[in-house]
């Protein structure tokens, strides 16, 4: 077997950037790369292991024997081991066998930069390259408009393994199959974007993908890397954006993963108060180490660059930001100013977002951040963390708490449904009804709704209508659009058989209509994060449990009026204030019979009178259907 040849893809500039934590394209250098040296094709390997005294590439080409193909350590104290192995090529399996300076510890690790991994539970890396030819040029040219902060965002959150299984064959759908069925479904339902729960390689199915070992490899559960590119491509060709869940907050302790990589705490923080998650039994990245920061930011850039992702939803940001996150007194150490903020994380997130938007100004980063940490979605140059959007966890919690109450008690909890508007414009908020809300005994969204079957579906239509007319962008977890009854189970397919029943058919039809109405109504999306895009008509009618408001876009002529009747009582001659002397006409009604409602509506345009009401100079009387959201336009 041919021996390792000295070769390097790194320049001195690369090394300096890496050491400084400023190299954000490390995937072009590290990992395995099929190249030709002196007329011989083979594979170049490079791995960071500064505490190693020996690093060998072991694989199916040398019977997994250590010492056969020892890499050369660079002379520049970078800790990088590298070399070219002739005749090793695409499809070969490999790992790094590392003998550490620390007590002679020996580890056998997957390649942190591998482009493809074996199907779990197998753990080897695979030498891989693809020459996928993208066909999404039109989308890439115009996606700045589709991904802008004043564009409609109705996001369908998907777990690829359980969206729709091939039940008769007891297997997952492949990327290719999803490119047909999922894309067609999302397009038909009029969603604007898909958000995928983590598709980077992960060893343990019950983690749902949130404990990664293959940061640069799409999971092999559903196919090859180029097949995942095909899925992305098909979404783009159908004018659907794709957001990827990204997990820079922690990683598992699996023997082949990043933990204790070279016999030292290389990727994880050595202090367990900063380096270990008690909740998830996982390791936390050392954000104070330059090379680790380069690794993570390079990984974010990789999915935007190589896989044409339109955004990254960054998982568990709160757990990163706070040193005392889920820790008791004595289990954490304050920062140098005596505070609880992890200053290294703050600077890391600012650097991440600065680099992402500099390189890809037509994408978005979205923070799953559950605290009141200030300025998460404000620009870095004014002191913010630089995210494009932030999940509105407070809205989600308050709204679901409110809606699960019997309507007879809602008047005593009116503040829960109006409070979100007190802080709605402090961040660029996305309203999430995500996978986290339909697991661990919380019930499905439909299962939370009170009343008989008709009322449960009416409540759910009302909830969705309220979400779509509330300021902010929208996200719904799969199954919610047709009224999944059971909690989500990652091992099972969604209950598509429910669509044999009329109430579920009607709800699906309703959500599609909401998506369509939202995309066609600029007042609902042009100013989603600005106070100028919203005006209360009435927020204090707790006795009737009714709220009403105006949503505004760039053109005042296109403003719409929204009224939510949060009880099953039919309210005729309900008076609302109007800001101007113009007739209004009902244009959307969640109580329509086509959606399974009772069919109560305002069939004719309604005229205002010169009588002050709700602090407005004019007023009019309308009919409010039971458990409904109705929307009017000015004519």
Catalytic residues: 315, 368
Nearest to 344 by CA among 271, 280, 279, 274: 274
Cβ atoms of residues 411 and 542 within 8 Å: yes
The Cα 238–Cα 350 span in angstroms is 33
The Cα 228–Cα 222 span in angstroms is 8
Cβ atoms of residues 243 and 192 within 8 Å: no
| Total count of residues recorded for the chain | 635
Q: What's the alpha-carbon Rg for the chain, to the nearest Å?
A: 27
* Tokens encoding 101: 């300076």
The Cα 27–Cα 24 span in angstroms is 8
DSSP string, 105-157: -EEEE--TT-SEEPPTT---EE----------HHHHHHHHHHTSTTS--EEEE
Residues 6+ apart with CB under 8 A from 521: 558, 560
Cβ atoms of residues 235 and 191 within 8 Å: no
SS3 for 342-376 is CHHHHHHHHHHHHHHHHHCCCCEEEECCCCCCCCC
């Amino acid at each position: 077997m041919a021996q390792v040849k000295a070769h390097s893809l790194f320049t001195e500039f690369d090394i300096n950037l890496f050491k400084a934590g400023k190299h954000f394209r490390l995937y072009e250098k590290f990992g395995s790369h099929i190249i030709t040296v002196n007329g011989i094709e083979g594979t170049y390997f490079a791995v960071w292991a500064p505490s190693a005294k020996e690093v060998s590439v072991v694989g199916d080409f040398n019977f997994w024997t250590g010492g056969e193909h020892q890499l050369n350590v660079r002379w520049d104290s970078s800790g990088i081991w590298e070399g070219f192995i002739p005749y090793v090529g695409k499809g070969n399996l490999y790992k790094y066998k590392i003998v550490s300076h620390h007590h002679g510890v020996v580890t056998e690790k997957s390649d942190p930069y591998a482009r493809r991994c074996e199907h779990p539970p197998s753990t080897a890396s695979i030498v891989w390259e693809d020459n996928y030819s993208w066909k999404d040029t039109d989308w890439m040219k115009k996606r700045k408009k589709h991904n802008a902060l004043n564009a409609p965002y109705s996001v369908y959150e998907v777990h690829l393994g359980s969206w729709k299984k091939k039940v008769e064959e007891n297997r997952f759908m492949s990327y290719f199959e999803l490119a047909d069925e999922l894309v067609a479904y999302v397009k038909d339902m009029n969603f604007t974007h898909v958000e995928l729960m983590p598709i980077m390689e992960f060893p343990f199915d019950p983690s749902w993908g949130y404990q990664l070992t293959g940061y640069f490899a799409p999971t092999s559960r559903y196919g090859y890397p180029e097949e995942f590119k095909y899925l992305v491509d098909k979404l783009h060709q159908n004018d659907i954006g794709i957001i990827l869940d990204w997990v820079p907050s922690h990683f598992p302790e699996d023997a082949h993963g990043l933990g204790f990589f070279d016999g030292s705490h290389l990727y994880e923080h050595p202090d367990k108060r900063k380096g270990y998650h008690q909740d998830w039994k996982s390791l936390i990245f050392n954000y104070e180490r330059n090379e680790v920061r380069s690794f993570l930011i390079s990984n974010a850039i990789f999915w935007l660059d190589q896989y044409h992702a339109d955004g990254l939803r960054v998982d568990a940001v709160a757990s990163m930001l706070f040193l005392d996150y889920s820790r008791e007194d004595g289990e954490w150490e304050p920062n140098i100013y005596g505070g609880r903020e992890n200053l290294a994380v703050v600077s890391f997130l600012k650097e991440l977002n600065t680099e992402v938007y500099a390189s890809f100004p037509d994408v978005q980063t979205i923070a799953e951040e559950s605290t009141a940490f200030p300025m998460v979605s404000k620009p870095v140059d004014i002191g913010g963390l630089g995210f494009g959007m932030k999940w509105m966890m407070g809205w989600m919690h308050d709204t679901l708490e409110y809606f699960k109450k019997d309507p007879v008690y809602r008047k005593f909890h009116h503040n829960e449904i109006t409070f979100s508007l007190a802080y709605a414009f402090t961040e660029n908020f996305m309203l999430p009804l995500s996978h986290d809300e339909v697991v661990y005994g919380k019930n499905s969204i439909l299962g939370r709704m009170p009343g008989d079957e008709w009322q449960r579906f009416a409540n759910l239509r009302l909830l969705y209508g309220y979400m779509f007319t509330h300021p902010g962008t929208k996200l719904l977890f799969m199954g919610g659009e047709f009224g999944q009854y059971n909690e989500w189970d990652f091992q099972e397919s969604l209950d598509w058989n429910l669509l044999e029943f009329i109430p579920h058919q009607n709800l699906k039809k309703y959500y599609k209509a909401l998506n369509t109405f939202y995309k066609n109504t600029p007042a609902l999306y042009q100013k989603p994060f600005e106070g100028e895009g919203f005006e209360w008509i009435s927020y204090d009618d707790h006795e009737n449990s009714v709220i009403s408001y105006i949503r505004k876009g760039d053109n005042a002529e296109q403003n719409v009026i929204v009224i939510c009747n949060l009880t099953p009582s039919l309210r005729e001659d309900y008076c609302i204030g109007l800001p101007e002397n113009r007739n209004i006409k009902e244009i959307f009604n969640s109580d329509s019979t086509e959606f399974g409602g009772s069919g109560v509506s305002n069939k004719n345009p309604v005229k205002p009178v010169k009588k002050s009401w709700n602090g407005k100079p004019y007023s009019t009387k309308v009919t409010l259907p039971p458990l409904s959201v109705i929307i009017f336009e000015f004519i």
